[in-house]
Chains A and B, each alone.
Chain A
Amino acid sequence: MTGHYLRQAARLLAKQRLHALINVVGLATALGLCILIAVFVKQEHSFDTWHQNADRTYRVDRIDFNPDGSFSSQQSSQPYNLAESLLRDHPDVEAAVRFNQSEVVIRAGGVMHQQNVLFADPSVLQVFTYVPVQGALEGAFSDLAGVVLTETAADRILGPGNVVGRELEVRFGDTYLPAVVTAVIEDLPAGTSLPFEVLMNFERAPLVYPWIARRIDNWRGSSFETYVLLREGTDMQAATQTLERLRTQYYPTLAEEGRQAGWWTGEGEPATYGFVSLTDLHLQPNAPGQFVTPTDPKYSLILLGIGLLILALAAINFTLLTLGRSSIRAGEIGVRKALGAGRRDILVQFGGESILTALLGFVGAIALASILMPAAISLTGREMSLADNLDVLLAVGVIAILTGILSGAYPSVVISRNRPSDTLRGRLRLTGSNTLSRALLLTQFAASIALVAGALVMQAQIGYLLSQEKGYDDSNVLVVETNGTDGFELTSHLRNSLGSNGAVEGISAMSLSFNRGYSSSSWMAAGVEKRAYIYNVDTELPDFLRMELLAGRSFEAGRSSDSTEAVVVNQAFARDWGWTAEEAVGQRITDYDNEPVIIGVVADMNFRSLHEEVQPMMLTLNEGWLAFALIRAAPGRTRDAVAALEDAWQSFESGAPLRYTFLNEDVAQAYEQDLRWARIMGIAALLAILVACMGLFGLAAMTVARRTKEIGVRKVLGATVGGVTLLVSRDFAVLVGIASLVGVPLAYLGLNRWLEGFAYRMDLGLSWFLGSCLLVLLIAMATVSIHAFRAATTDPVRALRYE
């Protein structure tokens, strides 16, 4: 019997090749995508969970309130002393770790490497989980000079082989200090919020960085992310209360001071502390950490939504096709029953057929997912593997089989419940199958329309962002890493050797190129404390980047006071403190270290992503702290400028390699996440539409197959090819019409919400939606007409023979 069924199933597969192909390939595509999406989303949600203590590790954040008690902002950096104070005062804190990140130059074997280094308290090795491959983690930081490297960094800096015990020279400020490799660990997993390649002992930081030394016992400056490991079985509510109480204890007079200075008018405290779970960090866009930008969970939700949608589409397709097939075969069911088949026989046959198809689809899905994995990795920038996600595979497999069971069993149960005489007489005695099919198809069209609109608008919005005025001119600007050499000297040298070169229009320098790291700190003025981003620059920079001066003046080379107590701020900075550009000029501000005066205000410029309103920013003159030299090439002569730069770098004889980027590329980095997401969404939407189209294609084929006889008869009676094509297509056109009424509002609402996340957003015009509807209509019509046309142009006998 099984052989008999299999033979018929195989023949159906062969005869209905198209139908089978679409059913299997459609399901495989959809399930394959779902696997990839599920793996990705799962990874997004399992950031940092690989730390053994992840469930009791927390970052301590400061939450600022508005005077009315509402949430104002969240701050991840804390004062120098918080870690040790909490360890001492908070009974639930088992260990505490401070972090600070810095660009340093490491010299090994005469070669210099500009390298990002993470400074962390020795307890980092106890709180977080790292896997040693050389040396031991225990005692790795018992000495201030200890350095822990990842395998990649060890290989790059010191070459292969055992490197434990090898000496390094690390440049802090002007001097090289010795350091020694005490351990090498495996590279960190992709899902980490605290990435590093080189880890050094935080206790060394105040010894080598004067500014950090000045933060000791300073409770007003906040620069260090602070993590705590809570004891097992800690009651979080109680622990949080203790934490809040401690904050008041550390800042006993803050509220009072605020009231006196006028910046705090609220009832209670202006701020509190809170624990943020390590595993939540990655999806907490409220409180961006210093080290990596968290992902907006909205995106993975949207993606998950698309994944589920694709799954639903595929299941719908599968059901529709199976349903359609069975209604075509309703007659067969009737005959089989008349020949002695029981209900179980029918169920086994039809259910078996569709489970088999679903399983084929699942196997295809796994193959597809493995083929697409490398592409998915480069698209998302996240390391992923199927082997680590067998649970996802299992879940998707179960879904596949369920789809098979439901879509196969439903029609056979319904049909075989009917009396054979009914099934034999009518060919389509599937209760409500027509309504069901139409509803399912409608859903599909609506989803497709929404997806097309979503994909189009997302791309357009990113394009809109990129086309915004930046407020400065980043074209043809080379960003040269000083790479350990003295920035001021390098800039002078470049000026001397390139100043008269016709390919070079200007030269300047700054501490951080845009989007190559941030530095921000709190500033107090007129009794109000606010944060602002800081760039150390030379006197040329505002002119060099062609910023627009709104009030006051720019830095002047001759004035010595400019280098100690002058800052240029942007309009956002002035606005933040409630000043006009003119009012801002002459204001004195302080960060408890320095007390500069605002000498000029420049127009707002987008030095960060356009997701945000322009942030307050200040430029200070600090020629001892320039990490990047900037060279503007004359239009069209970038190549010459680069050649000249290479010569000049050679003659500078620093021994460090030349490394440079282009400023506009650095700036575009701010949109990398958006671009990447837009691309992911675009592709996902495209594939979803593809899945929908495949279903539509199969469905159209089936509709035509079901109406083959009708088409044949109509033609014999005089219908034209065009008339028949229209007859078959019309139904689908009407469905698309209805679907647009459902899909467009949904897409509009969703996209509107998405756009709200942008400070700068495009118009959400109706044309986007009309376009999407038309596109879907076009695709639908094209698919259907192909079949209808083919049916309309074949010999009628062939159609009629099928009776």
Chain B
Amino acid sequence: MIKTVNLSKTYRTDEVETTALNGVSIHITPGEFVSVMGPSGCGKSTMLNILGLLDSPSDGSYVFNGTEVATLSERQRAQLRKGNIGFVFQSFNLIDELTVYENVELPLLYLGVSAQERKDRVAAALERTQIMHRKDHFPQQLSGGQQQRVAVARAVVANPALILADEPTGNLDSTNGEEVMKLLTELNEAGTTIVMVTHSPADAEYSHRTIHLFDGHVVTENFMSKTYAV
């Protein structure tokens, strides 16, 4: 599903040049659950953005579902993204002007899902993330963890083939965090490919494999013995 070869990303500001990713080659097969770990600033979010077709690499090749996407225009990438990928952003990125319900409903609207089905699926996602009681609130009326749960609900509601989650439990207490991890595991068992950035070794336990990044390099890949039996 995902295959990158020597993927690099450099940011240039007036004086400094930052290499956020430096020759990353990874391979993720459909149905895998991969976690990405590494110290702050090592390039995790950058990698996730590129994998999710939100950003283009400075160098290297990226084949997504059999298509070379490194050189596509934003318009073409948008086409590929639609319905295929669900995101949980590190900073949530909820739309301030929309309620919790509307935020979660949005991906379904863009997919042209019928009203009744939308209602059911949004409700299910909100139940699952235990945020139903806040469905008519606006993001700024929510606590950090609640916003994070809305972001998770929005990412899973359309049943995408690939979910990219950037620290989906960073703002959550252990109970809620576990709940989110269970949700992701279930989706994974149903066939969804998941790439998740996390700082928590406990959360990484849920995945099949962990990619460790350091300074833009892949340093090690650990396979979780207990689950890698697929």
Contact = CB atoms under 8 A, between A and B. Distances in A.
B222 to A, nearest CB: 28
A716 B140 contact: no
Given A712-B93, A718-B83, A800-B91, 14 more contacts: A425-B140, A425-B141, A426-B140, A709-B93, A709-B95, A713-B95, A716-B87, A717-B110, A717-B154, A718-B110, A723-B110, A793-B74, A800-B54, A800-B89
Contact of A795 (B74, B89, B141): B74
A723 B106 CA distance: 13
B95 A718 contact: no
A714 B96 contact: no
A797 B45 CA distance: 10
Given A716-B54, A797-B55, A803 B93 contact: yes
A613 to B, nearest CB: 61
A710 B97 contact: yes
B96 A719 contact: no
Interface in A710-728: 710, 712-721, 723
Q: Give me the 10 closest cross-chain CB pairs, A-B, nearest first.
A: A718-B110, A425-B140, A426-B140, A797-B55, A717-B107, A718-B82, A797-B54, A710-B95, A796-B54, A803-B91
How many chain A residues sit at the interface, stated as a range, is 20 to 34
22 contacts: A425-B140, A426-B96, A427-B140, A428-B96, A709-B93, A712-B93, A714-B95, A714-B106, A714-B110, A716-B52, A716-B54, A716-B81, A717-B106, A717-B154, A718-B81, A718-B107, A718-B110, A719-B110, A795-B55, A796-B54, A800-B89, A800-B91
Interface string A783-794: 000000000011
B49 interface: yes
B111 interface: yes
A771 to B, nearest CB: 35
A716 B55 CA distance: 11
Contacts of B82: 718
B78 interface: yes
Interface in B44-66: 49, 52, 54-56
B78 A721 contact: yes
Contacts of B96: 426-428, 709-710
Interface in B90-141: 91, 93-97, 106-107, 110-111, 138, 140-141
Contacts of B107: 717-718
A626 B141 CA distance: 91
B27 interface: no
Interface string B159-191: 000000000000000000000000000000000
B12 interface: no
Contacts of A796: 54-55
B221 to A, nearest CB: 25
A717 B158 CA distance: 10
A793 B74 CA distance: 6
Contacts, number: 61
A712 to B, nearest CB: 7
A723 B78 CA distance: 12
Nearest to B49: A797
A791 to B, nearest CB: 11
B226 interface: no
Contacts of B87: 716
Nearest to B95: A710
Interface of A: 425-428, 709-710, 712-721, 723, 793-797, 800, 803
Nearest to B79: A720
Nearest to B52: A716
A716 B92 CA distance: 13
A719 B111 CA distance: 9
A720 B111 CA distance: 11
A436 to B, nearest CB: 17
A335 to B, nearest CB: 15
How many chain B residues sit at the interface, stated as a range, is 20 to 34
A51 B75 CA distance: 73
Nearest to B83: A718
Nearest to B77: A795
Contacts of A428: 96
Contacts of A794: 74
A596 B92 CA distance: 99
B78 to A, nearest CB: 6
B68 to A, nearest CB: 18
B116 to A, nearest CB: 20
B56 A795 contact: yes
Nearest to B85: A716
Contacts of A718: 81-83, 107, 110-111
Contacts of B154: 717
Given A428-B96, A710-B96, A714-B95, A721 B75 contact: yes
Contacts of B49: 797
A795 B11 CA distance: 14
A164 to B, nearest CB: 74
A175 B107 CA distance: 100
Contacts of A710: 95-97
Most chain A beta-carbon contacts within 10 A, residue among B81, B93, B94: B93
Contacts of A427: 96, 140
A713 B81 CA distance: 12
A712 B54 CA distance: 9
Nearest to B82: A718
Interface in B13-71: 49, 52, 54-56
Contacts of B91: 800, 803
Contacts of B89: 800
A713 to B, nearest CB: 5
B82 to A, nearest CB: 4
A425 B147 CA distance: 12
Nearest to A709: B93
Contacts of A803: 91, 93
B75 A793 contact: yes
A279 B89 CA distance: 74
A799 B9 CA distance: 18
Contacts of B74: 793-795
Contacts of B55: 795-797
Contacts of A712: 93
A142 B122 CA distance: 104
Nearest to A718: B110
A717 B111 CA distance: 9
A315 B163 CA distance: 49
Contacts of B75: 721, 793
A797 B106 CA distance: 19
A512 B56 CA distance: 81
Contacts of A719: 110
A721 to B, nearest CB: 7
B106 A715 contact: no
A715 to B, nearest CB: 6
A361 B49 CA distance: 42
Most chain B beta-carbon contacts within 10 A, residue among A428, A793, A797: A797
B130 to A, nearest CB: 21
B99 to A, nearest CB: 14
A258 B95 CA distance: 86
Contacts of A713: 93-95, 106
B140 A800 contact: no
Nearest to B87: A716
A283 to B, nearest CB: 54
B197 to A, nearest CB: 15
Nearest to B98: A710
A796 B48 CA distance: 13
Nearest to B73: A793
Nearest to B91: A803
Contacts of B52: 716
A40 to B, nearest CB: 47
B72 to A, nearest CB: 11
Given A425-B140, A716-B54, A719-B110, A800 B78 contact: no
